[in-house]
Amino acid sequence: MPASRRGSGAVTLPTGQTLAFHTRTQDEEDLPHATKKTMADHLRKYESLFTLTPQRMRMIVDAFKDTLEAGLEKHGNTVPMIPTYVFGWPTGNETGEYLAVDLGGTNLRVCLVTLQGAGKFEITQSKYRLTEEQKQEDGQKLFDFCAECLKTFIDQHVGEEPGMINLKPGAKLPLGFTFSYPCSQDRIDHGELIRWTKGFGNPNTEGHDVAEMFRKSLQKYDVPADFISLTCDTTGTLIASHYVNPKTKIGCIFGTGCNAAYMEKVVDIPKIKHLGIAQDAEVAINCEYGAFDSFEHEHLPRTKYDQVVDETSNKPGEQAYEKLISGRYLGEIMRLVICELIDEGVLFLGQETYKLEKAYAFDTAFLSLMESDPTDELLMIIGIFTHFFAVETTLAERQFFRALAKLIGRRAARLSACGIAAIVSKMGYLEEGCSVGADGSLYNKYPGFADRIHEGLVDVFGDKGRNIVTYHAEDGSGVGSAVIAAMTKDRKEKGLYVNV
Ligand code: GLC
């Protein structure tokens, strides 16, 4: 057969080998796509790799529960179970105007929150997307950026009208800082960064007091803000959700990272016994449980794709649980499976695949979109592959991609259920039941994520698992941070401030 500049074909070499040639300008039928049967065979293989049985989940929950308990015993554990110096629940009647700065995994947000009491509030905010460079530059520069954005926000919003900041000359507004990375705290307006997570790597920050660093930046930009509290998004979520729904006992984030917070009795935290805090008091614990099974990798079912994600990350070995669940990594796991099939010659033969071969090129949002494609032809998936990666797909391949996304998304949700179940079982919440305030891009945007968590809870606990209900939380990093700042101000005024 003569070679042509377009199309696909095959020539038999003198050696007897067949050489296939293809160009990617051809129609779908002309390209040597995998057959329906080949894709189904591969899918079965991935099904067995990514499926978590109820029995395996129960084993994970047991180990998880032991890890949580060990973290309360002594300082320095991998899952650090951090006492946050947020004592007890809000009354729901906290009031006043607060600034909240939220340095999350993807965005920086600055907010003005007006707490109106009776669980009501108003919020005005601006959001800035963080660049990958900003996540690696010197730490002080990152805090300078936060202070600068806050200053601009205040300047734009000072005024008399509702939703505006009423600020008399020389006055300052109380500020809650949500810094969602593990920090060990001696008091609520202090926090030493234990380690960066979620791909951040800013030098000169780990081991430093980030509250002090941010205060320095606030001074540099002459920001009229009084730094009151440093909290994590999970603690904020717990408190904000309880502010509006007092049945809430756990706050979770399933977004760029994954983590949870809950309220613990001081008497059950042996590692802070020496502080002399009233034994009947309760304090919120930021579990930082994204670190579960780090380094040892004893309990979680890691596939070879998970291992590659880990080894090529800026923190190999760390955040083992988070790397199987969170939005930062799911797209990458899927991409690695696709690349394996490209290397094996199963997918995209004869097409240029360099766009797919770039690390982190496959966004987790694509998995959500694929799972929610409503068309028989899976047009959304055609769009993703042609528009972002310039490759053509057949219906059988698209069905395979959708099924693969489902496997990865479902495993993430079922593993998420294990963390919640560990807290529920440690605290004995199963019989009476509880609400779990949950937030984050996966929880809010990934189709069926919450349902899959609920299914997972039933797989772990049987029918009683239905007593544990997750719901979309109140904005923890804005409203929660403001409520925590209000609670802290109140404690200070009453002389109850704990300062170690
Ligand atoms: C990471 C952070 C943790 C945060 C979570 C969700 O796990 O270490 O502090 O709560 O992401 O944003």
484: domain CATH number? Answer: 3.30.420.40
Q: Which of 107, 210, 259 to mutate to test the pocket of ligand 1 (most atoms within 8 A of CB)?
A: 259
Domain with 217, as residue range(s), is 86-236+476-494
Average pLDDT of the chain is 91
Among candidates 89, 128, 113, 131, which has minimal Cα distance to 177?
A: 113
pLDDT digits (tens, 9 = 90+) for 324-364: 999 999 999 999 999 999 999 999 999 999 999 999 999 99
- Whether 154 maps to a domain, the answer reads yes
Q: What is the pLDDT of residue 5?
A: 33
Q: Where are the alpha helices (DSSP H) in 344-440?
A: 364-371, 379-383, 389, 395-427
Hey, whose CA ends up nearest to atom 6 of ligand 1?
A: 257
What does each C-alpha distance from 47 to 42, 373, 452 come to in angstroms?
Answer: 9, 21, 16
Among residues 102, 109, 144, 180, the one annotated as catalytic is: 180
Q: What is the Å distance from ligand 1's center to 441 Cα?
A: 13
Checking if the pLDDT of 255 tops 80, the result is yes
Checking if the pLDDT of 383 tops 50, the result is yes
Residue 7's pLDDT band, with cuts at 50, 70 and 90, is very low
Hey, whose CA ends up nearest to atom 1 of ligand 1?
A: 257
* Distance from C-alpha of 388 to C-alpha of 95, rounded to nearest angstrom: 48
Q: Which amino acid is at 105?
A: G
What does each C-alpha distance from 212 to 135, 140, 190 come to in angstroms?
Answer: 19, 10, 7
Checking if the pLDDT of 403 tops 60, the result is yes
pLDDT digits (tens, 9 = 90+) for 355-377: 999 999 999 999 999 999 999 99
Number of domains in the chain: 1
Among candidates 111, 174, 120, 230, which has minimal Cα distance to 474?
A: 120
- Whether 12 maps to a domain, the answer reads no
- Whether 194 maps to a domain, the answer reads yes
Among residues 189, 209, 233, 439, the one annotated as catalytic is: 233
Among candidates 79, 103, 120, 126, which has minimal Cα distance to 322?
A: 79
Residue 499's pLDDT band, with cuts at 50, 70 and 90, is low
Q: What is the pLDDT of residue 25?
A: 40
Checking if the pLDDT of 437 tops 80, the result is yes
Contacts of 69-77 with C-beta under 8 Å, sequence gap 24+, read 69/426, 71/287, 72/264, 72/268, 72/269, 72/270, 72/271, 72/285, 73/270, 73/271, 74/270, 74/271, 75/184, 75/271
pLDDT digits (tens, 9 = 90+) for 136-152: 999 999 999 999 999 99
Active site residue 44: no
- How confident is the model over 160-185, as a mean pLDDT? 89
CB 364, CB 327: distance < 8 Å: yes
Residue 163 burial (10 A CB sphere; 0-12, 13-18, 19+):
exposed
Hey, whose CA ends up nearest to atom 4 of ligand 1?
A: 180
Residues in Cβ contact with 209 at an 8 Å cutoff, skipping those fewer than 6 apart: 190, 191, 192
- Whether 451 maps to a domain, the answer reads no
- Whether 24 maps to a domain, the answer reads no
Percent above pLDDT 90 for the chain = 82
Q: What are phi and psi of 253, to 5 degrees?
A: -125, 130
- Whether 379 maps to a domain, the answer reads no
* Higher-confidence position of 69 and 474: 69
Q: What is the Å distance from ligand 1's center to 33 Cα?
A: 41
What does each C-alpha distance from 302 to 48, 80, 143 come to in angstroms?
Answer: 12, 22, 35
Q: What is the pLDDT of residue 166?
A: 79
Question: DSSP string covering 198-243, please?
Answer: TT---SS-TTSBHHHHHHHHHHHTT--EEEEEEE-HHHHHHHHHHH
Query: What tokens were used for 138?
Result: 């010197």
CB 88, CB 75: distance < 8 Å: no
Tokens 């000359």 sit at which residue?
Answer: 169
pLDDT digits (tens, 9 = 90+) for 30-84: 678 888 889 999 999 999 999 999 999 999 999 999 999 999 999 999 999 999 9
- Whether 442 maps to a domain, the answer reads no
Q: Which of 41-55, 110-124, 181-195, 260-274 has the lowest mean pLDDT?
A: 110-124
* Distance from C-alpha of 12 to C-alpha of 3, rounded to nearest angstrom: 12
Q: What is the Å distance from ligand 1's center to 411 Cα?
A: 19
HSE value, Cβ hemisphere, 13 Å, CA-based, for 262: 27
Residue 106's pLDDT band, with cuts at 50, 70 and 90, is confident
Percent above pLDDT 70 for the chain = 93
Active site residue 144: no
Hey, whose CA ends up nearest to atom 12 of ligand 1?
A: 257
pLDDT digits (tens, 9 = 90+) for 441-467: 999 999 999 999 999 999 999 999 999
* Distance from C-alpha of 123 to C-alpha of 372, rounded to nearest angstrom: 31
3-state helix, strand and coil shares in percent for the chain, rounded to the nearest 5: 45, 20, 40
Q: What is the pLDDT of residue 493?
A: 85
Report the SS3 class of residue 432. Answer: coil
Q: What is the pLDDT of residue 21?
A: 36
- How confident is the model over 382-406, as a mean pLDDT? 96
pLDDT digits (tens, 9 = 90+) for 11-40: 333 334 443 434 344 445 567 888 888 999
Active site residue 233: yes
Among residues 24, 58, 195, 491, the one annotated as catalytic is: 195
- How confident is the model over 189-218, as a mean pLDDT? 97
Residue 323's pLDDT band, with cuts at 50, 70 and 90, is very high
Checking if the pLDDT of 110 tops 70, the result is yes
